Amino acid sequence: MGDEQDKKIDNPDCHLMEDIGEEEMAELIREAQQEALLKEQQEKINPTPTRRRYKWVLSLIVAVFLFSTFSFILQTYSIPAIEFLRVSARLSQDEQIQMYKRSVVTVATEESKGTGFSISSDGKILTNYHVIEGKEEVTIAFPEKGIYRAQVTEIYPEIDLALLNIEAESVPYLKLAEQAGWYKGDPITFIGNPLRFHGIANEGKIIDSIKLTDWEDEVVMIKAPVYRGNSGSPVLNEEGEVVGVIFSTMEHAEYGKVGLYIPITLFKRTSPSKES
């Protein structure tokens, strides 16, 4: 990308790991309600047998929101404002996705929550540097293997990556792609912990690459539902290999809001303890 185009691009949001606030959650609920009401009004004009069921589902979801136990319901019923949860429910029925999820962890500090993933059976965890910045030890949680204290063993601020290590005999892990080449329009899948959720699988496509200010190497832009908490999410190709790590979003002059990921080749080139 040339300098002229770079000037048109806003600075990336490097705080994806923060939890969603109460006002943002309330806004999601309002948007869902408004779209549901619009759909109900349209159905009054063109009634269908599913209208009563949809109204009942909406009421149930609102009630569940109020009691903060809405995760299962939202993965079962489609609400436009939170479509990424429905997509995750669909993707998670795939046995391969279920297997990949076992290697994706929650990375928690006193101030924030993000995502990471295991890259070796002996407990090496890759995440974003900004998720663990200033910490020597953090808490990580596997979906099936439980909670561990992890030591921060390597940091690479220049590419926003960090390597953690836990004491474990054997944990599931994801394979890093030997070559992380891509073409515009390539489909990708990623798994992370957006907003207040855990183990959310989602999909998108590659748009282009871009060289950010103060970065020596290009990163990759994707059109996908990336939210706070997705920092450190592995980006998988169709073979299930990790081709990148999500670290940010940005507003692009041409493409609108996009997600950004660090090509895994940058980590493999930089880290002396890389896994293949």
Q: Is the predicted pLDDT of residue 67 greater than 80, yes or no?
A: no
- Residue 78 pLDDT grade (very low, low, confident, very high; cuts 50, 70, 90): very low
133: DSSP letter: T
Question: Which residues in the chain are classed under CATH 2.40.10.10?
Answer: 3-16+175-270, 97-165
**What is the distance between the alpha carbons of residues 82 and 235, in angstroms, rounded to a whole number?**
21
- Tell me the helices (H) and strands (E) count for the chain, helix number first: 8, 12
Tell me the three state secondary structure of residue 58.
helix
**What does the angle CA 185 – CA 115 – CA 85 come to, to the nearest 5 degrees?**
60
For residues 243 and 236, the answer to whether their CB atoms sit within 8 Å is yes
- Residue 116 pLDDT grade (very low, low, confident, very high; cuts 50, 70, 90): very high
Q: Is the predicted pLDDT of residue 273 greater than 80, yes or no?
A: no
For 163-194, the pLDDT digits (tens) are 999 998 899 999 999 887 888 999 999 999 99
For residues 171 and 145, the answer to whether their CB atoms sit within 8 Å is yes
Strand partners, 106: 115, 141
**What is the distance between the alpha carbons of residues 28 and 104, in angstroms, rounded to a whole number?**
26
Q: Is the predicted pLDDT of residue 206 greater than 80, yes or no?
A: yes
Homologous superfamily of the 3-16+175-270 domain (CATH): Trypsin-like serine proteases (2.40.10.10)
Report the top-level CATH class of 97-165. mainly beta
CB-based burial of residue 107 (10 Å sphere; 0-12 exposed, 13-18 middle, 19+ buried)? buried
66: DSSP letter: H
**What is the distance between the alpha carbons of residues 59 and 48, in angstroms, rounded to a whole number?**
18
Tell me the three state secondary structure of residue 13.
strand
Instruction: Indicate the pTM of the whole model.
Output: 0.73
**What is the distance between the alpha carbons of residues 257 and 255, in angstroms, rounded to a whole number?**
7
Strand 242-252 and strand 137-142: the pairing is: unpaired
**What is the distance between the alpha carbons of residues 174 and 101, in angstroms, rounded to a whole number?**
9
What is the predicted pLDDT for the residue at 112? 84
